Amino acid sequence: MTQRGTARAAATLLLGIALLAGCSTEQQASQTLPEPTTAEATPTLTALGPPDFPMPAEAREQTPEGAAAFTTYYIELYSRTQQTLDTQYMRALSAGCTSCDQLMSFMDGAVAQGQSLRGGETEVIAMSDPAVNGATADVAFSVDQAPLDIVDSAGNVIDGMSYAGSNNPSSGAILAWDSARSTWIMQQLDIG
Amino acid sequence: MPCPNFDCLKKRVTGGSIYLSAEDVTPASDGMRRASNSRSPGPALYRWRLASPCQIRDETVGACTPADFVDCPDVPDRVVVYYVVQRQRLAQADGTPVDGTLPPDGGAPGTPYGPWIGDGQGCIDVTDLNPPPSPDEVFRYFQELPLPELTAQQQPPGNALVGLPVIFYTTDPATQTYTVDIRGFTVTILATARTYTWHTGDGTDLTSTDPGAPYPDQTVTHDYRAGTYTASLTTTWGGTYTVDAGAPADVPGTTTTDGPPTTFTVLQARAVLTDPYD
Protein backbone atom coordinates (compact mmCIF):
# COMPACT_ATOMS: atom_id res chain seq x y z
CA MET A 1 0.00 0.00 0.00
CA THR A 2 1.36 3.36 -0.86
CA GLN A 3 1.50 6.27 1.55
CA ARG A 4 -1.41 7.92 -0.23
CA GLY A 5 -3.41 4.67 0.00
CA THR A 6 -2.71 4.34 3.71
CA ALA A 7 -3.96 7.87 4.39
CA ARG A 8 -7.19 7.26 2.39
CA ALA A 9 -7.90 4.05 4.32
CA ALA A 10 -7.44 5.79 7.64
CA ALA A 11 -9.79 8.61 6.65
CA THR A 12 -12.45 6.12 5.57
CA LEU A 13 -12.18 4.27 8.87
CA LEU A 14 -12.61 7.48 10.86
CA LEU A 15 -15.65 8.50 8.83
CA GLY A 16 -17.19 5.09 9.35
CA ILE A 17 -16.67 5.28 13.14
CA ALA A 18 -18.20 8.74 13.22
CA LEU A 19 -21.27 7.61 11.29
CA LEU A 20 -21.78 4.58 13.46
CA ALA A 21 -21.49 6.70 16.55
CA GLY A 22 -24.17 9.04 15.23
CA CYS A 23 -26.58 6.17 14.52
CA SER A 24 -26.17 4.25 17.70
CA THR A 25 -27.62 6.79 20.11
CA GLU A 26 -31.39 7.36 19.29
CA GLN A 27 -32.45 5.36 16.19
CA GLN A 28 -34.20 1.99 16.54
CA ALA A 29 -33.92 -0.55 13.79
CA SER A 30 -37.01 -0.84 11.63
CA GLN A 31 -38.97 -4.06 12.13
CA THR A 32 -40.80 -3.88 8.76
CA LEU A 33 -39.77 -3.75 5.17
CA PRO A 34 -40.58 -0.57 3.17
CA GLU A 35 -43.57 -0.69 0.82
CA PRO A 36 -42.56 -1.45 -2.73
CA THR A 37 -42.95 1.54 -5.09
CA THR A 38 -44.23 1.33 -8.66
CA ALA A 39 -42.19 2.77 -11.47
CA GLU A 40 -45.08 4.89 -12.89
CA ALA A 41 -47.73 6.91 -11.08
CA THR A 42 -51.37 6.30 -12.01
CA PRO A 43 -52.48 9.21 -14.29
CA THR A 44 -55.23 11.35 -12.82
CA LEU A 45 -57.78 13.05 -15.08
CA THR A 46 -58.62 16.67 -14.61
CA ALA A 47 -62.15 16.85 -13.29
CA LEU A 48 -64.77 18.04 -15.77
CA GLY A 49 -68.19 19.44 -15.04
CA PRO A 50 -69.49 21.28 -11.99
CA PRO A 51 -67.96 20.24 -8.66
CA ASP A 52 -71.31 18.96 -7.45
CA PHE A 53 -71.99 17.10 -10.69
CA PRO A 54 -68.67 15.90 -12.09
CA MET A 55 -68.46 13.88 -15.23
CA PRO A 56 -68.38 10.18 -14.33
CA ALA A 57 -65.28 8.19 -15.21
CA GLU A 58 -67.20 5.90 -17.55
CA ALA A 59 -68.07 8.90 -19.75
CA ARG A 60 -64.37 9.45 -20.37
CA GLU A 61 -63.71 6.24 -22.24
CA GLN A 62 -63.23 6.18 -26.01
CA THR A 63 -65.70 3.34 -26.36
CA PRO A 64 -69.36 2.98 -27.31
CA GLU A 65 -70.18 2.74 -23.61
CA GLY A 66 -68.21 5.90 -22.98
CA ALA A 67 -70.01 7.74 -25.77
CA ALA A 68 -73.36 6.66 -24.33
CA ALA A 69 -72.39 7.74 -20.81
CA PHE A 70 -71.12 11.08 -22.08
CA THR A 71 -74.33 11.79 -24.00
CA THR A 72 -76.46 10.97 -20.98
CA TYR A 73 -74.24 13.12 -18.79
CA TYR A 74 -74.35 16.05 -21.21
CA ILE A 75 -78.15 16.00 -21.37
CA GLU A 76 -78.35 15.87 -17.57
CA LEU A 77 -75.84 18.70 -17.38
CA TYR A 78 -78.06 20.76 -19.69
CA SER A 79 -81.05 19.95 -17.50
CA ARG A 80 -79.17 21.17 -14.40
CA THR A 81 -77.77 24.21 -16.18
CA GLN A 82 -81.31 25.44 -16.78
CA GLN A 83 -81.51 25.90 -13.02
CA THR A 84 -78.00 27.22 -12.35
CA LEU A 85 -77.74 29.19 -15.63
CA ASP A 86 -73.98 28.68 -15.40
CA THR A 87 -73.19 27.59 -18.94
CA GLN A 88 -69.40 27.35 -18.57
CA TYR A 89 -69.44 23.60 -18.02
CA MET A 90 -71.63 22.88 -21.02
CA ARG A 91 -69.51 25.22 -23.07
CA ALA A 92 -66.35 23.35 -22.05
CA LEU A 93 -67.88 20.14 -23.40
CA SER A 94 -69.17 21.52 -26.72
CA ALA A 95 -67.34 22.58 -29.86
CA GLY A 96 -69.01 23.86 -33.00
CA CYS A 97 -72.36 22.60 -31.78
CA THR A 98 -74.90 25.10 -33.12
CA SER A 99 -77.84 23.70 -31.19
CA CYS A 100 -75.87 23.69 -27.94
CA ASP A 101 -74.82 27.28 -28.57
CA GLN A 102 -78.43 28.30 -29.14
CA LEU A 103 -79.54 26.75 -25.85
CA MET A 104 -76.64 28.31 -23.94
CA SER A 105 -77.17 31.65 -25.61
CA PHE A 106 -80.75 31.72 -24.34
CA MET A 107 -79.62 30.93 -20.80
CA ASP A 108 -76.88 33.58 -20.93
CA GLY A 109 -79.50 36.07 -22.11
CA ALA A 110 -81.78 35.10 -19.23
CA VAL A 111 -78.98 35.80 -16.75
CA ALA A 112 -78.36 39.20 -18.32
CA GLN A 113 -82.03 40.08 -17.96
CA GLY A 114 -82.38 38.82 -14.42
CA GLN A 115 -84.64 36.00 -15.51
CA SER A 116 -84.62 32.37 -14.49
CA LEU A 117 -85.97 29.14 -15.89
CA ARG A 118 -88.55 27.02 -14.15
CA GLY A 119 -89.07 23.42 -15.23
CA GLY A 120 -87.64 22.10 -18.44
CA GLU A 121 -86.23 18.97 -16.82
CA THR A 122 -84.64 16.89 -19.54
CA GLU A 123 -84.02 13.15 -19.56
CA VAL A 124 -82.70 10.58 -21.99
CA ILE A 125 -85.44 7.97 -22.33
CA ALA A 126 -83.75 5.47 -24.60
CA MET A 127 -80.47 5.11 -26.42
CA SER A 128 -79.08 2.59 -28.85
CA ASP A 129 -75.47 1.48 -28.84
CA PRO A 130 -73.41 4.36 -30.22
CA ALA A 131 -71.33 3.79 -33.32
CA VAL A 132 -67.73 4.77 -32.62
CA ASN A 133 -65.48 5.33 -35.59
CA GLY A 134 -62.05 6.37 -34.41
CA ALA A 135 -62.32 9.79 -32.85
CA THR A 136 -66.00 10.31 -33.61
CA ALA A 137 -69.16 8.70 -32.39
CA ASP A 138 -72.75 9.04 -33.45
CA VAL A 139 -75.46 8.42 -30.94
CA ALA A 140 -79.18 7.82 -31.48
CA PHE A 141 -81.42 8.53 -28.55
CA SER A 142 -84.85 9.58 -27.42
CA VAL A 143 -85.11 12.50 -25.02
CA ASP A 144 -88.02 14.10 -23.19
CA GLN A 145 -88.24 17.63 -21.90
CA ALA A 146 -90.76 18.90 -19.35
CA PRO A 147 -92.67 22.18 -19.86
CA LEU A 148 -90.59 25.27 -19.26
CA ASP A 149 -91.46 28.73 -17.94
CA ILE A 150 -89.28 31.80 -17.99
CA VAL A 151 -89.80 33.88 -14.86
CA ASP A 152 -88.74 37.39 -13.98
CA SER A 153 -86.73 38.44 -10.97
CA ALA A 154 -89.94 38.57 -8.92
CA GLY A 155 -90.72 34.98 -9.78
CA ASN A 156 -93.59 35.78 -12.13
CA VAL A 157 -93.96 33.88 -15.38
CA ILE A 158 -93.26 36.26 -18.26
CA ASP A 159 -96.09 36.55 -20.78
CA GLY A 160 -95.46 34.54 -23.90
CA MET A 161 -92.51 32.74 -22.39
CA SER A 162 -94.09 29.46 -21.39
CA TYR A 163 -93.07 26.51 -23.49
CA ALA A 164 -94.69 23.12 -23.83
CA GLY A 165 -92.69 20.01 -23.11
CA SER A 166 -91.69 17.68 -25.90
CA ASN A 167 -90.92 14.06 -26.67
CA ASN A 168 -88.07 13.74 -29.10
CA PRO A 169 -87.61 10.13 -30.23
CA SER A 170 -85.59 11.04 -33.32
CA SER A 171 -82.73 12.79 -31.57
CA GLY A 172 -79.07 12.19 -32.14
CA ALA A 173 -75.63 13.50 -31.48
CA ILE A 174 -72.22 13.45 -33.06
CA LEU A 175 -69.34 13.39 -30.61
CA ALA A 176 -65.63 14.01 -31.11
CA TRP A 177 -62.94 12.54 -28.90
CA ASP A 178 -60.69 15.07 -27.16
CA SER A 179 -57.57 13.07 -26.42
CA ALA A 180 -55.91 15.94 -24.53
CA ARG A 181 -58.62 15.91 -21.87
CA SER A 182 -59.78 12.33 -22.32
CA THR A 183 -63.36 13.23 -22.94
CA TRP A 184 -65.97 13.27 -25.63
CA ILE A 185 -67.07 16.66 -26.95
CA MET A 186 -70.57 17.43 -28.21
CA GLN A 187 -70.14 18.47 -31.85
CA GLN A 188 -73.69 18.22 -33.09
CA LEU A 189 -76.95 17.86 -31.22
CA ASP A 190 -80.04 17.14 -33.28
CA ILE A 191 -83.40 17.17 -31.57
CA GLY A 192 -86.29 15.60 -33.37
CA MET B 1 -79.93 32.66 -32.30
CA PRO B 2 -81.04 31.87 -28.76
CA CYS B 3 -83.40 28.94 -28.27
CA PRO B 4 -85.24 28.40 -24.98
CA ASN B 5 -85.79 24.65 -25.23
CA PHE B 6 -85.58 21.53 -27.35
CA ASP B 7 -88.89 22.21 -29.06
CA CYS B 8 -87.43 25.43 -30.42
CA LEU B 9 -84.46 23.55 -31.84
CA LYS B 10 -86.75 20.94 -33.36
CA LYS B 11 -88.91 23.48 -35.14
CA ARG B 12 -85.88 25.32 -36.40
CA VAL B 13 -84.29 22.31 -38.05
CA THR B 14 -87.36 20.41 -39.20
CA GLY B 15 -89.81 23.23 -39.81
CA GLY B 16 -88.31 24.05 -43.16
CA SER B 17 -86.66 27.21 -41.90
CA ILE B 18 -83.40 26.61 -43.67
CA TYR B 19 -83.48 23.05 -44.94
CA LEU B 20 -85.05 21.64 -48.05
CA SER B 21 -86.43 18.18 -47.37
CA ALA B 22 -86.15 15.30 -49.81
CA GLU B 23 -87.20 11.67 -49.84
CA ASP B 24 -84.18 10.65 -51.83
CA VAL B 25 -80.91 11.99 -53.18
CA THR B 26 -79.40 9.80 -55.86
CA PRO B 27 -76.68 10.05 -58.47
CA ALA B 28 -78.19 10.91 -61.84
CA SER B 29 -77.11 9.47 -65.17
CA ASP B 30 -75.18 12.65 -66.01
CA GLY B 31 -73.16 12.40 -62.80
CA MET B 32 -74.99 15.20 -61.03
CA ARG B 33 -76.87 14.17 -57.92
CA ARG B 34 -80.62 14.58 -58.05
CA ALA B 35 -82.96 15.20 -55.14
CA SER B 36 -86.58 14.16 -55.35
CA ASN B 37 -89.62 13.34 -53.31
CA SER B 38 -90.07 9.96 -54.92
CA ARG B 39 -88.22 7.05 -53.43
CA SER B 40 -86.05 4.51 -55.15
CA PRO B 41 -87.33 0.92 -55.19
CA GLY B 42 -86.71 -0.97 -51.98
CA PRO B 43 -86.78 0.08 -48.36
CA ALA B 44 -85.85 3.66 -47.65
CA LEU B 45 -82.83 3.77 -45.39
CA TYR B 46 -82.68 7.53 -44.91
CA ARG B 47 -84.52 10.78 -45.14
CA TRP B 48 -82.64 13.71 -46.59
CA ARG B 49 -82.28 17.44 -46.24
CA LEU B 50 -80.32 20.09 -48.11
CA ALA B 51 -79.14 23.56 -47.24
CA SER B 52 -76.84 26.01 -48.93
CA PRO B 53 -73.46 26.71 -47.30
CA CYS B 54 -74.64 30.29 -46.75
CA GLN B 55 -77.77 29.13 -44.93
CA ILE B 56 -75.76 26.85 -42.68
CA ARG B 57 -73.15 29.47 -41.89
CA ASP B 58 -75.83 32.07 -41.30
CA GLU B 59 -77.52 29.72 -38.83
CA THR B 60 -74.18 29.07 -37.14
CA VAL B 61 -72.45 32.44 -37.02
CA GLY B 62 -75.06 34.84 -38.34
CA ALA B 63 -73.33 35.76 -41.58
CA CYS B 64 -72.18 34.37 -44.91
CA THR B 65 -68.88 34.73 -46.71
CA PRO B 66 -68.23 34.98 -50.46
CA ALA B 67 -66.85 31.43 -50.35
CA ASP B 68 -70.34 30.22 -49.43
CA PHE B 69 -71.65 31.05 -52.88
CA VAL B 70 -70.71 28.45 -55.45
CA ASP B 71 -71.89 28.66 -59.04
CA CYS B 72 -73.42 25.62 -60.65
CA PRO B 73 -73.74 24.92 -64.35
CA ASP B 74 -76.84 26.22 -66.10
CA VAL B 75 -78.92 23.28 -67.22
CA PRO B 76 -81.91 24.18 -69.42
CA ASP B 77 -85.23 23.75 -67.63
CA ARG B 78 -83.54 22.37 -64.50
CA VAL B 79 -82.92 23.93 -61.11
CA VAL B 80 -79.37 23.18 -60.06
CA VAL B 81 -78.14 24.61 -56.78
CA TYR B 82 -75.07 24.04 -54.64
CA TYR B 83 -76.19 22.31 -51.47
CA VAL B 84 -74.79 20.59 -48.43
CA VAL B 85 -76.51 17.19 -48.18
CA GLN B 86 -77.37 15.44 -44.92
CA ARG B 87 -79.24 12.23 -44.20
CA GLN B 88 -80.88 10.66 -41.18
CA ARG B 89 -81.50 6.95 -40.62
CA LEU B 90 -85.00 5.48 -40.84
CA ALA B 91 -86.19 2.55 -38.73
CA GLN B 92 -86.55 -0.58 -40.83
CA ALA B 93 -89.59 -2.85 -40.92
CA ASP B 94 -87.47 -5.96 -40.36
CA GLY B 95 -85.64 -4.41 -37.44
CA THR B 96 -82.25 -4.38 -39.12
CA PRO B 97 -79.81 -1.64 -38.15
CA VAL B 98 -78.91 1.13 -40.56
CA ASP B 99 -75.20 1.89 -40.72
CA GLY B 100 -74.74 -0.41 -37.77
CA THR B 101 -77.10 1.42 -35.44
CA LEU B 102 -80.59 0.42 -34.30
CA PRO B 103 -83.36 2.87 -33.38
CA PRO B 104 -83.14 3.84 -29.70
CA ASP B 105 -86.55 2.57 -28.76
CA GLY B 106 -87.43 0.19 -31.57
CA GLY B 107 -89.40 2.89 -33.40
CA ALA B 108 -92.08 2.14 -35.96
CA PRO B 109 -90.83 1.47 -39.49
CA GLY B 110 -89.95 4.72 -41.21
CA THR B 111 -89.32 6.60 -37.96
CA PRO B 112 -86.21 8.79 -38.29
CA TYR B 113 -83.53 8.29 -35.66
CA GLY B 114 -80.02 9.37 -34.80
CA PRO B 115 -78.13 12.47 -35.84
CA TRP B 116 -78.15 14.08 -39.24
CA ILE B 117 -75.01 12.87 -40.96
CA GLY B 118 -73.20 14.76 -43.69
CA ASP B 119 -73.34 13.18 -47.13
CA GLY B 120 -71.20 15.55 -49.14
CA GLN B 121 -71.99 18.77 -50.95
CA GLY B 122 -72.13 19.88 -54.54
CA CYS B 123 -74.38 20.98 -57.34
CA ILE B 124 -77.65 19.14 -56.87
CA ASP B 125 -80.49 18.97 -59.37
CA VAL B 126 -83.47 19.92 -57.19
CA THR B 127 -85.98 20.52 -59.96
CA ASP B 128 -88.29 17.80 -58.67
CA LEU B 129 -88.41 19.41 -55.22
CA ASN B 130 -89.51 22.71 -56.77
CA PRO B 131 -87.71 24.73 -54.08
CA PRO B 132 -88.55 28.38 -53.55
CA PRO B 133 -86.55 30.60 -55.87
CA SER B 134 -83.01 31.09 -54.66
CA PRO B 135 -81.56 34.59 -54.39
CA ASP B 136 -79.44 33.93 -57.47
CA GLU B 137 -82.49 32.82 -59.41
CA VAL B 138 -84.37 35.95 -58.38
CA PHE B 139 -81.40 38.03 -59.43
CA ARG B 140 -81.51 36.53 -62.91
CA TYR B 141 -85.14 37.65 -63.20
CA PHE B 142 -84.26 41.01 -61.69
CA GLN B 143 -81.77 41.65 -64.47
CA GLU B 144 -84.51 41.07 -67.05
CA LEU B 145 -87.09 43.40 -65.50
CA PRO B 146 -88.17 46.43 -67.57
CA LEU B 147 -86.71 48.83 -65.06
CA PRO B 148 -87.34 52.55 -65.68
CA GLU B 149 -84.84 54.49 -67.74
CA LEU B 150 -84.65 57.69 -65.77
CA THR B 151 -84.36 60.94 -67.70
CA ALA B 152 -81.80 63.56 -66.72
CA GLN B 153 -83.26 67.05 -66.59
CA GLN B 154 -81.17 70.16 -66.40
CA GLN B 155 -81.52 73.79 -65.37
CA PRO B 156 -81.54 76.31 -66.79
CA PRO B 157 -83.79 74.80 -69.45
CA GLY B 158 -82.60 75.14 -73.02
CA ASN B 159 -79.24 76.82 -73.40
CA ALA B 160 -76.92 77.22 -70.45
CA LEU B 161 -74.29 79.82 -69.72
CA VAL B 162 -70.59 79.51 -69.00
CA GLY B 163 -70.04 80.39 -65.33
CA LEU B 164 -73.54 79.40 -64.35
CA PRO B 165 -73.45 75.80 -63.10
CA VAL B 166 -75.89 73.48 -64.76
CA ILE B 167 -78.21 71.71 -62.32
CA PHE B 168 -79.07 68.05 -62.92
CA TYR B 169 -81.96 66.15 -61.44
CA THR B 170 -84.61 63.60 -62.30
CA THR B 171 -88.23 63.53 -61.30
CA ASP B 172 -88.85 59.97 -62.43
CA PRO B 173 -89.85 57.48 -59.71
CA ALA B 174 -87.00 55.94 -57.75
CA THR B 175 -88.86 52.78 -56.82
CA GLN B 176 -90.87 50.32 -58.83
CA THR B 177 -92.67 47.12 -57.80
CA TYR B 178 -92.87 44.04 -59.99
CA THR B 179 -94.61 40.73 -59.47
CA VAL B 180 -93.21 37.78 -61.36
CA ASP B 181 -94.02 34.10 -61.44
CA ILE B 182 -90.98 31.89 -60.91
CA ARG B 183 -91.86 28.20 -61.20
CA GLY B 184 -95.26 28.81 -59.64
CA PHE B 185 -93.99 31.02 -56.81
CA THR B 186 -95.24 34.59 -56.65
CA VAL B 187 -92.17 36.73 -56.28
CA THR B 188 -92.66 40.41 -55.57
CA ILE B 189 -89.61 42.53 -56.27
CA LEU B 190 -89.25 46.09 -55.07
CA ALA B 191 -86.61 47.76 -57.22
CA THR B 192 -84.98 50.86 -55.78
CA ALA B 193 -82.61 53.32 -57.42
CA ARG B 194 -79.43 53.08 -55.36
CA THR B 195 -77.05 55.38 -57.19
CA TYR B 196 -77.29 57.91 -60.02
CA THR B 197 -74.43 58.44 -62.43
CA TRP B 198 -74.74 61.70 -64.34
CA HIS B 199 -72.83 61.71 -67.60
CA THR B 200 -72.27 65.42 -68.20
CA GLY B 201 -71.15 64.99 -71.78
CA ASP B 202 -67.75 66.62 -71.34
CA GLY B 203 -66.11 63.45 -70.03
CA THR B 204 -67.07 63.96 -66.43
CA ASP B 205 -69.28 61.52 -64.51
CA LEU B 206 -70.96 62.67 -61.32
CA THR B 207 -72.32 60.08 -58.90
CA SER B 208 -74.97 60.70 -56.27
CA THR B 209 -77.21 58.61 -54.08
CA ASP B 210 -80.08 61.04 -54.44
CA PRO B 211 -81.96 62.01 -57.59
CA GLY B 212 -80.89 65.66 -57.41
CA ALA B 213 -83.34 68.52 -57.18
CA PRO B 214 -84.17 71.70 -59.12
CA TYR B 215 -83.12 75.15 -57.98
CA PRO B 216 -82.88 76.20 -55.18
CA ASP B 217 -82.45 72.72 -53.65
CA GLN B 218 -79.96 71.46 -56.18
CA THR B 219 -77.45 68.80 -55.13
CA VAL B 220 -75.90 67.89 -58.48
CA THR B 221 -74.28 70.68 -60.51
CA HIS B 222 -71.58 70.98 -63.13
CA ASP B 223 -69.64 73.86 -64.69
CA TYR B 224 -69.19 73.78 -68.46
CA ARG B 225 -67.09 75.50 -71.01
CA ALA B 226 -68.85 76.86 -74.07
CA GLY B 227 -70.08 74.16 -76.42
CA THR B 228 -72.81 71.68 -77.18
CA TYR B 229 -73.13 68.69 -74.87
CA THR B 230 -75.20 65.54 -74.60
CA ALA B 231 -75.90 64.51 -71.02
CA SER B 232 -77.57 61.35 -69.75
CA LEU B 233 -78.28 59.45 -66.54
CA THR B 234 -77.35 55.89 -65.65
CA THR B 235 -79.29 54.49 -62.72
CA THR B 236 -78.05 51.59 -60.61
CA TRP B 237 -80.92 49.52 -59.24
CA GLY B 238 -80.94 47.27 -56.21
CA GLY B 239 -83.92 45.58 -54.70
CA THR B 240 -85.63 43.42 -52.16
CA TYR B 241 -88.01 40.58 -52.83
CA THR B 242 -90.53 38.32 -51.15
CA VAL B 243 -91.61 34.83 -52.12
CA ASP B 244 -95.32 34.14 -51.64
CA ALA B 245 -95.56 37.21 -49.38
CA GLY B 246 -92.92 35.82 -47.03
CA ALA B 247 -90.10 37.63 -45.33
CA PRO B 248 -88.28 40.14 -47.53
CA ALA B 249 -84.73 39.46 -48.63
CA ASP B 250 -82.18 41.43 -50.58
CA VAL B 251 -81.68 40.80 -54.27
CA PRO B 252 -78.01 39.75 -54.36
CA GLY B 253 -76.75 42.22 -56.93
CA THR B 254 -77.54 45.35 -58.88
CA THR B 255 -78.28 46.22 -62.46
CA THR B 256 -78.30 49.48 -64.40
CA THR B 257 -80.48 51.34 -66.86
CA ASP B 258 -79.44 54.16 -69.17
CA GLY B 259 -81.81 57.09 -69.61
CA PRO B 260 -82.36 58.98 -72.86
CA PRO B 261 -79.73 61.60 -73.80
CA THR B 262 -80.39 65.31 -73.49
CA THR B 263 -78.53 67.76 -75.73
CA PHE B 264 -78.04 71.41 -74.85
CA THR B 265 -75.70 74.27 -75.67
CA VAL B 266 -73.62 76.24 -73.23
CA LEU B 267 -73.13 79.78 -74.41
CA GLN B 268 -70.40 82.24 -73.57
CA ALA B 269 -72.04 85.46 -72.40
CA ARG B 270 -70.32 88.66 -73.50
CA ALA B 271 -70.68 92.03 -71.85
CA VAL B 272 -72.23 94.60 -74.18
CA LEU B 273 -72.41 98.29 -73.29
CA THR B 274 -75.84 99.59 -74.03
CA ASP B 275 -77.66 102.85 -73.49
CA PRO B 276 -80.70 102.20 -71.35
CA TYR B 277 -82.32 105.36 -72.67
CA ASP B 278 -81.76 104.41 -76.29
**Does the structure show a pLDDT above 80 at B187?**
yes
Q: Does the beta carbon of B109 lie under 8 angstroms from any beta carbon of chain A?
A: no
Q: Looking at the domain assignment, is residue A20 inside a domain?
A: no
Over range A87-100, report the average pLDDT: 97
Mutation site for B-interface testing, chosen from A104, A128, A136, A142 by largest number of B Cβ within 10 Å: A128
The shortest C-alpha distance from A104 to chain B (Å) reads 7
Residue B113: the pLDDT is: 97
pLDDT, tens only, B225-262: 999 999 999 999 999 999 999 989 999 899 999 999 99
Contact B184/A at CB under 8 A: no
Partners of A186 on chain B (C-beta within 8 Å) are none
* Torsions phi, psi for A26 (to 5 deg): -110, -30
Residue-level pLDDT at A8: 44
Nearest CA in chain A to B14: A192
Residue B108's closest chain A neighbor by CA? Answer: A169
Any CB–CB contact under 8 A between A166 and chain B? Answer: yes
Class of domain B135-267: mainly beta
Phi and psi at A187, nearest 5°, equal -100, -30
Please give the residue range of the domain that contains residue A86.
59-190
Query: Nearest CA to A186 among A121, A126, A141, A120?
Result: A141
For residue A66, name the pLDDT band (cuts at 50, 70, 90).
Answer: very high
- Give 3-state DSSP helix, strand, coil % of chain A, rounded to 5: 35, 30, 35
Judged by a CB distance cut-off of 8 A, whether residue B7 touches chain A is yes
- Residue B61, pLDDT above cutoff 80: no
A95 inside domain:
yes
Asked if the Cβ–Cβ distance from B6 to A172 is below 8 Å, we say no
Quote the minimal CA–CA distance from B252 to chain A in Å. 26
Who contacts B68 (Cβ-Cβ below 8 Å, separation ≥6)? Answer: B52, B53, B54, B57
Query: Model confidence over B193-226: pLDDT tens digits?
Result: 999 999 999 999 999 999 999 999 999 999 999 9
What pLDDT shows up at residue B70?
87
Tens digit of each residue's pLDDT (9 = 90 or more) over B113-134: 999 999 999 999 999 998 888 8
CB contact under 8 A, A190 and B115: yes
CATH of the domain at A79: 3.10.450
For B149-174, how does the pLDDT look when each residue is reduced to its tens digit (9 = 90+)?
999 999 999 999 999 999 999 999 99
Domain with CATH 2.60.40.10 in chain B: 135-267
Query: In the predicted model, is pLDDT for residue A25 greater than 70?
Result: no
**Touching check for A145 and chain B: CB below 8 Å?**
yes
Q: Which of A167, A180, A170, A188 is nearest to A71 (CA)?
A: A188
What is the arithmetic mean of pLDDT over A102-114? 97
How high is the ipTM of this complex? 0.76
The answer to whether B27 faces chain A, any CB pair under 8 Å, is: no
Give the per-residue pLDDT at B172. Answer: 96
- Which residue among B13, B101, B111 sits closest to A131, beta carbon to beta carbon? B101
B88: chain A residues, CB-CB within 8 Å: 170, 172, 190, 192
Helix A98-112 × helix B6-14 angle, to 10°: 130
pLDDT exceeding 90 applies to what percent of chain B? Answer: 69
Domain contains A1: no
Q: Rounded to whole angstroms, how far apart are CA atoms A91 and A73?
A: 14
From chain A, the residues in CB contact with B116 under 8 A are 172, 188, 190
A29-38, A74-83, A148-157: the lowest-pLDDT one = A29-38
Mean pLDDT for chain B? 91
The pTM is what?
0.69
Check CB contact of A103 with chain B, cutoff 8 Å: yes
pLDDT of residue A16: 40
- What percent of chain A clears pLDDT 70, i.e. is strictly above it? 78
pLDDT digits 0-9 by tens, A160-185? 999 999 999 999 999 999 999 999 99
Cα–Cα distance for residue pair B44/B96, rounded to 1 Å: 12
Distance in angstroms (rounded) separating the CA atoms of residues A114 and B99? 46
Mean pLDDT of B135-146: 92
For residue A126, is it within any domain? yes
Residue pLDDT, tens place only, A37-54: 444 555 678 999 999 999
Which has the closest alpha carbon to A180: A10, A43, A25?
Answer: A43
Per-residue pLDDT band for A14 (boundaries 50, 70, 90) equals very low
The length of chain B in residues reads 278
Structural domains in chain A (count): 1
Chain A residues with CB inside 8 Å of B14's CB? 192
Residues of A in contact with B60 (CB under 8 A): 96, 98
At residue A2 the predicted structure's pLDDT band, cuts being 50, 70 and 90, is very low
Rounded CA-CA distance A49/A61 in Å is 16
Mean pLDDT, residues B7-19: 70
Q: How far apart are CA B186 and CA B202, in angstroms?
A: 45
Are residues A168 and B10, on separate chains, in Cβ contact within 8 Å?
yes
- Phi and psi at residue B115, to the nearest 5°: -75, 160
A90 SS3 class: helix
Is A172 part of a structural domain of the chain? Answer: yes
Q: In whole angstroms, give the CA distance from residue B84 to residue B54.
A: 10
Give residue A97's pLDDT. 95
